[in-house]
Amino acid sequence: MRILVTGAAGFVGIPVCDALSASGHSVTAVTRAEPAAALAAERTEVLGQLSGATDWSGVLSGVDAVVHLAGRAHVLEEDQRAAERLYREANVEVLEGLAEAAVRHGVKRLVFVSSIKVNGEETHGAPFSADQPPAPEDAYGRSKALAEQRLSEIAGDRMEWVILRPPLMYGPGVRGNMARLLAIADRGWPVPLGSIRNARDLLYVGSFADLIATAVVAPAAANRIFLARDGEPLSTPDLFREIAAALGKRAMVLPCPVAVLEVAGRITGRQAEVRRLVGDLRIDDGETRRALAWTPRVSRDEALRRTAAWYKSR
């Protein structure tokens, strides 16, 4: 197939191009700027900053499917007054323009990478599932939920769509909270996480890229929403221990009451960050595995080793 990938030079885009090319597809990579290294693509198009007015006509001709990764990622501690507008512009309006252009050019399927934050911020008992009504709690999650809705409306019966909602991902090139944990573990610093007893699902970016390559072609994926995860969840202190082990370091995990961490979060304005450290986020991806015959091919131990090797090689 001829597949267009937006955000192709990003954390997820690079392994997605690798997976699609390895499956024999012809990939057109769309990037904001000239990529630092060659991508696994037959063609690379630099379109600059995307917007609702982006002209897609030059890259969609003859394309069978689109994988839409480009967007504004979740940013901690940003100005909430501007966040709604910025996320809507980057995550909704760009998707609307792309979907409308894809329909006009006869694209058969558009795979949209959304976020588990459409379901919510944390679970209480039952895990998140794809058939639950959206319950986003912040501007980023609301923008992804609206983009999902607009995709199905624009596509109608003229183009198939697939929506994927990944949780926190890790792997070579990771940034954000996972990158901070890598840095802390590598330096051998102690962390006050020992009293946390939570369960959170994660996803290795390479496994997610394999899922995307499956979702592009699988007949059973048409017009459906899918969730994904590595496998068994981890508590935050166990995740830190596994990260340290992958780096060849000894984890220093000290006990500290969760209530104290929560108070510290309120005092420092980091309530959301602390909430992610102490709360549960469980995912039910059973239907994804059944419908698409997909399971992660890389174990978590190996995935963390690859992530650690990348971190140490920088």
Catalytic residues: 140
Q: Which amino acid is at 68?
A: H
Report phi then psi at 151, rounded to 5.
-60, -50
Q: Do the beta carbons of residue 152 and residue 144 sit within 8 Å?
A: no
d(CA 69, CA 114): 8
d(CA 148, CA 95): 9
- Judged by DSSP in three states, 164 sits in strand
d(CA 119, CA 223): 18
Q: Do the beta carbons of residue 255 and residue 194 sit within 8 Å?
A: yes
Residue 29 bridge partners (DSSP): 5, 44
Residue 169 bridge partners (DSSP): 203
Tokens 């319950």 found at = 135
Burial class (CB in 10 A: 0-12, 13-18, 19+), 268: exposed
Q: Which amino acid is at 237?
A: P
